[in-house]
Chain A
Amino acid sequence: MSLQTFAQLIEKLDATNKTNQKVAALAHYFEQASDEDKLWTIAILSHRRPPRPVNTTLLREYAAELANIPLWLFEDSYHIVGDLAETIALVIPDEKQQTSKTLSTFLEEIIELKAQDDEAKKSYLQHNWKSLDYHARFVFTKLLTGSFRIGLSQKLMTRALSKTTGVDEDELAYRLMGDWSPTNTTFQELVFEENKEANLSKPYPFYLAYAIEGEASELGDVSKWSVEHKWDGIRGQVICRSGEIYVWSRGEELVTDKYPEFENFKDSLPDGTVLDGEILPFIDGEIGLFNDLQTRIGRKNVSKSILQKVPVIFKAYDVLEFEGMDIRSKIFEERRAILSSVIESSKSDALHISDTMQFDSWEEVAHERDLSREKRSEGLMLKRKDAIYQVGRKKGDWWKWKVDPLTIDAVLTYAMRGHGRRSNLFTDYTFGLWNENEKGEKELVTFAKAYSGLTDKEFNQVDSIIKKTTLERFGPVRSVEPQLVFEIAFEGIALSSRHKSGVAVRFPRIHRWRYDKKIKEANSLDDLKQLIV
């Protein structure tokens, strides 16, 4: 089956928003595809792409050249489309040739491509772009650049695969985890066989909580619930098996090398232990901010200075495997008892426990939630004491109850076109707060960007005001006459030398449009700094 068939699958998955249809389309594809193509499809849909063979700068140059447009025009188009592979697929004309090469052949070629010189890469890419139609060109380029976001969770893929193979869904979810790639396993091995060696590093699927919808008190008897703070770090799993330590992040990434602090866990954890918890920055004996952690994420090499500046701890809140046994079906209270004893007898400074709390009333729980910011947490986790550890996001036993966001009134100063469906509108905004400069004049200092939180109707209205009050154009960006005030909500706030305002806020978004406020009534940078705990 050619790449075209895989491209049609992606098109079908894109074309429907109904879960059943997505699963059916994928199951249908699995029934027809060769084992090699199936294996690669699973790999791609679980974010196991081969390493990027060509950097995106070259990719853009080659594409612009083939499309016969100047590079700046390609870049501006890319900004508006919002996705590199899609932009490339759109700007290159269809020449109506067909390819018979399969998905797995393409991927093998892509793996080999990495070692070749730039000339060879260019001719390979341009040749293939020309010989594919729009959908296949998009898919081919996606294989080179990034992960597919097709609204198809790992869970749905597993369900489709379970349908075609008859292997139980949860069992399959477990088999598909871990450190495998299509180059070191086969479809048969991965799906049907127990692989001892790969199992050594294999994590369990995370149990994920939903946000609480109504009042916490609707959860009933408070004594049935265990309460913890919701830590603001990276969800992770620490595996200690056969004298080795493996660290997985929730994104199903093996990140052991990034956290050398956890290396000594092998001396302090009994063999055959798997812990679920949060990787947190821990500076001068205190939990740091996510912002601190961000300076460590994304670095290829963890330098000595960064280890000193932003040391981390693992705050454990659950144990999934003990003495080599999968204990996820034990109830929470029993697992926590095991966890306590494991942590107590451990000698590592980097291994902490996330304390559980019991309350007599929901009012007391709410009071504890109010203390979250002081305790450097995002809110509370409510866990049923008699619940097993489930697979994936399931309602009922675990709830997150986050604190309300912080808000401030800011002035819109710059606007940029949105991406994708909003690309005809100016929907990405920059916001400023008042500050006094050296001359004692009040000016607006940029403090955050946000692009979500308004209704389509409001975006349309703001867009037309922006078009009428444009001061200057810089490519896709426009500076606008300060006129509009918005209430901006965000989760966390910290001092930051990397930001012009001296402050970094986390997850800023538009809370509402303050039609009622004049720009003079917007907040100042000092007001913002007051919010720092």
Chain B
Amino acid sequence: MSKNQLLVFNSKGIYCKQANIYIDPWKPVNKAIITHGHADHSRYGHKHYLTHHKNVPIIKHRLGDISVEGVEWNQPFTINGVTFSLHPAGHIIGSSQVRVEYKGEVWVFTGDYKTEDDGLCTPYEVVKCHTFITECTFGLPAFKWKPQQQVFEEINTWWKENQSEGKTSVIFGYSLGKAQRLLKHLDTSIGKIYTHGAVENMTEVVRPLVDLPPTELITRETKKEELLGNMVVAPPSTHGSPWIKKMVPYVTATSSGWMAFRGARRRRAIDRGFVLSDHCDWGGLLASIKATEAERVICTHGYTDIFSKYLREIGYDASIENTDYEGEREEVTPTAETVS
């Protein structure tokens, strides 16, 4: 086996032939290493799942009764001579990069990742390698994130303003990942945080793993008067649904990397857009690639053509592989609640 083919991209996913195992496959397989719990990376139907132990309760919640084994970060395990280990990706709780080593050749697959410490999940760790398989959802120089502290100041200020106008604040975030990041950094001295069922259920699942403020589930009995001035965290799919009518008078916001674009912020449907992403920005991608000391870079999803062209120009052996990963979908679309 050529060392250039330690991992291949076939019709089912990223495949290691030597170990006969897939990473984040999009079609059902026997054995799958899973980077994180978002639906485009952890799909139904595999016979056996292997993932970081923090991700175990998450994918069990999502996929039901599956055969899954949890491992710790930086704990190598060997399959037919191939050494695998998981390393924090900083994307969402329990998200990992996968390091694959065979006869001295090292490949790393990032899954989804971000370099900023979000104060919630274990921060991204640089893993040195020869070939780095990276996402590039926001692989354009137009994407530069502000420090999250600044963004949360904006969000909390917005909450206070809405409160002073006697309105309920509704912020949309995917129930796994963005919702918990919001919960972690909302200023609970302003008011109470209410949740939609999908957010509440997923938050319950991760509560044993992280420290989060108390939340209150919105039920049939919840009166709209008690919501006034408080914050509601809900999945994007609830936007425009009858469920949300209960909040009147309310103001809506969404938080996503796409909000960096004026066109996205000005969407008719949402009152405010905050630029906050669980993926790397341009600088984050370039810095992490450099830090891995990789010579070869494979771009899987996002602005792959543009990003890989730039990488080649600055001296990397960069190419593109097509996958079924979707990166950060624009929030509040009819197909919401699938990925982030």
Contacts and interface: CB of A to CB of B under 8 A. Distances in A.
Contacts of A16: 271
A516 B163 CA distance: 51
A478 to B, nearest CB: 9
B335 A457 contact: yes
A243 interface: no
Contacts of B263: 82-83, 419-423
Given A14-B262, A151-B266, A457 B334 contact: yes
A424 interface: yes
A456 interface: yes
Contacts of B267: 421
Contacts of B65: none
Contact of B261 (A17, A72, A421, A475): A421
B290 to A, nearest CB: 15
Contacts of B137: 424
Given A17-B268, A457-B335, A81 B261 contact: yes
Interface in A1-56: 14-18
Interface residues of A, number: 40
A456 B332 CA distance: 10
A468 to B, nearest CB: 7
Contact of B333 (A80, A420, A457, A468): A457
Contacts of A94: 144
B141 A473 contact: no
Interface string A464-478: 000110000101100
B305 interface: yes
Contacts of A18: 271
A67 B262 contact: no
A73 B261 contact: no
A423 B261 contact: yes
B335 A420 contact: no
Given A15-B272, A17-B268, A73-B141, A456 B258 contact: no
Contacts of A475: 305-306
Q: Which of B327, B329, B330 has the most CB of A within 10 A?
A: B330
B38 interface: no
Contact of A421 (B258, B271, B303, B305): B258
B306 A76 contact: yes
Contact of B262 (A70, A73, A77, A420): A420
A90 B260 contact: yes
A456 B334 contact: yes
Nearest to A16: B271
B221 interface: no
A188 interface: no
A69 B271 contact: no
Interface residues of B, number: 32
Contact of B265 (A14, A67, A81, A83): A14
Interface of A is mostly: helix
Interface in B126-172: 137, 140-144
A91 interface: yes
A455 B334 contact: yes
Contact of A67 (B141, B143, B268, B271): B141
Contacts of B261: 81, 86, 420-421, 423
B310 interface: yes
A82 B329 CA distance: 19
B264 interface: yes
Contacts of B262: 14, 83, 86, 138, 420
Interface string A300-319: 00000000000000000000
A460 interface: yes
B265 A80 contact: no
A485 to B, nearest CB: 22
Q: Which of B266, B329, B335 has the most CB of A within 10 A?
A: B266
A87 interface: yes
Interface in B289-340: 303, 305-306, 309-310, 313, 322, 327, 329-330, 333-335
Contacts, number: 90
Given A80-B142, A90-B260, A17 B334 contact: no
B280 to A, nearest CB: 15
A482 interface: no
Given A77-B142, A86-B261, A91-B142, A14 B266 contact: yes
A210 to B, nearest CB: 19
A231 to B, nearest CB: 32
Nearest to B253: A15
B11 to A, nearest CB: 11
A332 B108 CA distance: 75
Interface in A408-457: 419-424, 455-457
Contact of B330 (A87, A424, A455): A424
Nearest to A473: B305
A424 B258 contact: yes
Q: Which of A73, A81, A93, A424 has the most CB of B within 10 A?
A: A424
B266 A81 contact: no
Given A421-B330, A457-B334, A69 B258 contact: no
Contacts of A67: 141
Nearest to A87: B142
Interface in A116-138: 138
A90 B271 contact: no
A93 B144 contact: yes
Interface string B259-290: 01111111110011100000000000000000
Contacts of B306: 73, 76-77, 475-476
A467 B322 contact: yes
B142 A90 contact: yes
A77 B143 CA distance: 10
A460 B335 contact: yes
Nearest to B257: A424
B334 A468 contact: no
A151 B335 CA distance: 27
Contacts of A93: 144
A91 B305 CA distance: 18
Contacts of A457: 333-335
A312 to B, nearest CB: 36
A73 B310 contact: yes
Interface string A64-100: 0001011011101100111100110011011000000
A15 B273 CA distance: 8
A368 B279 CA distance: 58
Please provide the 8 A-B residue pairs with the shortest distance between their CB atoms, ordered closest to farther. Answer: A420-B263, A421-B264, A90-B142, A457-B334, A421-B263, A91-B141, A456-B333, A77-B142
Interface of B: 137, 140-144, 258, 260-268, 271-273, 303, 305-306, 309-310, 313, 322, 327, 329-330, 333-335
Given A73-B310, A90-B141, 19 more contacts: A14-B262, A15-B265, A73-B141, A74-B141, A77-B306, A80-B140, A90-B260, A91-B142, A420-B263, A420-B264, A421-B263, A421-B266, A455-B334, A456-B333, A456-B335, A457-B335, A475-B305, A475-B306, A476-B306
7 contacts: A15-B272, A15-B273, A90-B141, A91-B141, A420-B262, A421-B264, A455-B334
